[in-house]
Amino acid sequence: MKNILSTATKVAAVALAASSFSFAGPGIADGAAKFIGNITQSNTSPGPNDQFTKLWNQATAENGCKWGSIEGTRGRYNWAGCDAAYNWAKNNGGHFKFHALLWGGQYPGWLESLSVEDTKKAITDWFDAVKQHYPDIEMIDVANEAIRTGNNQYHSGYTRTKIIPALGGDNNGDYAFLTTAFKMARERWPKAILIYNDYNTIQWHVDQGINLINTIRKNGAPVDAYGLQAHDLMSDGGQAGGTGGGGVCMNYNNFVSTMQKIHKETNNFPVLISEYDVPSTDDGIQKQCYQEQVKYWMEDPHVAGITIWGWIYGQTWLNCNGKANGCSGLVRNGQDRPALTWMKEYLASNKGVNTTGLKTGVLTPVEPVPRKMFKGSAFEIPGKIEAEDFDISGVGETDGVSNVSYSEGDVENHGDVKDYRKDTTGVDLYKKATGIIVGYNSEGDWLEYTVNVKEAGDYTMFAAVAAAGSTSSFQLSLDGKALTDVISVPAAKQGEENYDDYNKVSANVSLTAGKHILRMTVTGSWFDVDYFTFVKGKDATDPEPIDEPDEPPSAIALDQHMNVDRVQDYYVIDPMGMRMGILSAYGFEAAAEILKSSSAVKSSGVYYLRNRWTGEMQSVRVVR
């Protein structure tokens, strides 16, 4: 492509590419589905004829963009090393990744002495300074090496500073500080690819990495990709702080199964191979690793790009356990090592696959698969919509409308209903007295329903919802436009962690006739939703009001008369933890006798009674 286009044509081609997809730029991955990049190590940008530009089409500054490198003295910034990588990408049509905003290593020395409050200010000032200097960053490692390996222990030295408490804490592994950091980054770079990056995530700490990325997504972090450093892909690699080791290539079957596990358990979340290297003085071993691993990643549709961590022998950070400095390099004494020769030959005829949606190469077209309506037809309005009956998700777009019908922060169904929706990953379905509900909803999750409005006009929307706390909320939209304001979900009146106390919320809405896509977006985490009902007219009457229980007796009355003087309501919970219904009795003892003699209880086991007013529970053994 570079040889046959005139300069004017190149400019036009670049302008067109920028408007539709991201071009690959220079290097041996020119025109590929994903970039293959490397690190810059000086304050000088490589030129258009430099070997770096001939080999690579993405740049990450090895150290130049780290906080400690830029702001060694508080309030004074040295951008030279970071500018070298950034300007190279700008001048040569390559990709640039900023590495990294937050890390428990290579932070400024003055950070350790700051208070929590001053640390928060320092972080905010740092983010603002980077935003001012680089307003249009393409990719950002927002946080680096924060996997929790034990109580107050992380992959890097976060606890030597107040970074974690300054950004909201960790709270036994909820990574709230990371969620805060990603939200701060999104405010400043709304169009950037925001990345979480870590080591030992393919061989040693696979589950911990998956848990972290799923947790912060579930908590509403606007993260776009998971960076796997990939220093740990040799038989001796990764154990010592992710520094690589040596030996032979990681067992190929284990490598493939691990990559598949990461994709499956993160719901095919986009991956970047962010710091790959193969430290070996043996050319054959290095070539084998590249042939197996790089080839796999190029053909893996969920991998968006590959960054190799150094390429000149003797100038990379690894020394093969003291045997040879910079032994992961690909060019030795000016000559390509066999791994690089193979990579050039492979990329000349293999451009790879990239269906991540991230513009890190020439994106692979995806054949659209239309969404389907779960019940076979659109929900009629006026009418009732069960929350669990959202559309069956498709792929891509049809007539400009996305075929994706839901978004869920993790892939695990935490609910007790596993067989109602086998077409979904991660939407949490529970069995309650009224039927199946959607629970465990967290900020950023959404569900869509195809609806058919019979007649244009004003309607009243009612929703049956339950929450244990007072911070839960949701919003409805129609065809991408807000239909309601944010609607708060009332907290349960009695008991802790009570998601059985359903309330009705409502909103007046104006609808146009015809088919539409209705979306429910979670704006405040942790509530359950049973159904939505649309009734014709403003401030209409709810056709299914939830009966309010009688006011519970006072604490004194409960203490004196709970079991003898007043009928109490008890939830009946089966041995599998599913609620069967409600019975009324004069105290737990009477309720237990009713339960034992009930024909509705078909099998032996330990059942539970929970007082509807107090939340108190007792077990009942039933023998059949």
Q: Which residues pair with 431 in a beta bridge?
A: 436
Quickly tell me which residue has 């804490």 as its tokens.
Answer: 169
H helices present in 247-372, as ranges = 252-265, 283-299, 338-349
Q: Which residues contact 380 (CB under 8 A, 6 or more apart)?
A: 451, 452, 454
418, with CB counted inside 10 A (0-12, 13-18, 19+), is exposed
The catalytically annotated residue of 71, 265, 275, 388 is 275
SS3 of 353, please? coil
The catalytically annotated residue of 62, 71, 138, 145 is 145
Taking CA atoms, 205 is separated from 179, 226, 253, 596, in Å, by 21, 14, 17, 48
Q: Which residues pair with 153 in a beta bridge?
A: 150
434, with CB counted inside 10 A (0-12, 13-18, 19+), is middle
Here the tokens at position 231 are 């220093």
End-to-end C-alpha distance for the chain, whole angstroms: 78
Here the tokens at position 281 are 């003085």
Quickly tell me which residue has 């150290």 as its tokens.
Answer: 63
C-alpha span between 385 and 571 (Å, rounded): 26
> What's the CA angle centered on 287, arms 282 and 289, to 5 degrees?
100
Q: How many helices (H) and strands (E) does the chain have?
A: 13, 31
Residue of 8, 37, 366 whose CA lies nearest to 227: 37
C-alpha span between 418 and 173 (Å, rounded): 26
Quickly tell me which residue has 């200010």 as its tokens.
Answer: 121
221, with CB counted inside 10 A (0-12, 13-18, 19+), is buried
Element (H, E) at 167: none
Q: Which residues contact 575 (CB under 8 A, 6 or more apart)?
A: 605, 606, 607
Helix 252-265 and helix 206-218, axial crossing angle in degrees, nearest 10: 20
Q: Which residues contact 143 (CB under 8 A, 6 or more apart)?
A: 100, 101, 102, 103, 178, 181, 182, 196, 197
SS3 of 275, please? strand
Rg (alpha carbons) of the chain, rounded to whole number: 29
Q: Which residues contact 322 (CB under 8 A, 6 or more apart)?
A: none
C-alpha span between 503 and 542 (Å, rounded): 12
Q: How many residues does the chain have?
A: 624
Active site residue 145: yes
Q: Which residues pair with 398 in a beta bridge?
A: 401
C-alpha span between 440 and 468 (Å, rounded): 11
> What's the CA angle centered on 267, arms 266 and 268, to 5 degrees?
90
Residues involved in catalysis: 145, 275
